[in-house]
C-alpha cells in the first residue's frame, strides 16, 4: 500500500499559522478544519456529510452517513409490499 504524505507536514511552521490553502494534486485544499469539512462535503457523492467533531481541545473530521427513518421511507412509498398491512 502506498503511503500518502500530508502536505501540511512538509511546510515549515515558523510563524505558527498555516496558509489558507495547500495545493494537493493540482487542487487547492483549505487548511482550516471547518473550511476543509465544507470542501469535502462539496465533493461527496454518498448520502451523508462530513462533520467536525470536538473532544476536549482536539478536533477531528468524521463521516456521518444519512440514515432513513421509518417516516421518511413511508412518505416516499418505499416500504416493500410484504411489510404493508393488508
pLDDT in tens, 30-76: 888 889 898 899 988 888 899 999 988 888 999 998 887 888 888 88
The count of structural domains within the chain is 1
Residue 1 forms part of a structural domain: no
Residue 16 forms part of a structural domain: yes
Q: Which helix (H) or strand (E) holds 73?
A: helix 70-75
pLDDT score of 76: 81
pLDDT score of 52: 92
Residue 32 forms part of a structural domain: yes
Residue 63 forms part of a structural domain: yes
Q: What is the dihedral of CA 35, 39, 45, 46, to 10 degrees?
A: -30
Pick the more confident residue, 36 or 6.
36
Amino acid at each position: 500500500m502506498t503511503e500518502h504524505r500530508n502536505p501540511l507536514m512538509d511546510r515549515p511552521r515558523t510563524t505558527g499559522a498555516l496558509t489558507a490553502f495547500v495545493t494537493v494534486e493540482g487542487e487547492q485544499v483549505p487548511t482550516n478544519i471547518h473550511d476543509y469539512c465544507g470542501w469535502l462535503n462539496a465533493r461527496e457523492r454518498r448520502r451523508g456529510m462530513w462533520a467536525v467533531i470536538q473532544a476536549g481541545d482536539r478536533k477531528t473530521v468524521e463521516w456521518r452517513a444519512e440514515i432513513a427513518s421509518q417516516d421518511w421511507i413511508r412518505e416516499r412509498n418505499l416500504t416493500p409490499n410484504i411489510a404493508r398491512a393488508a
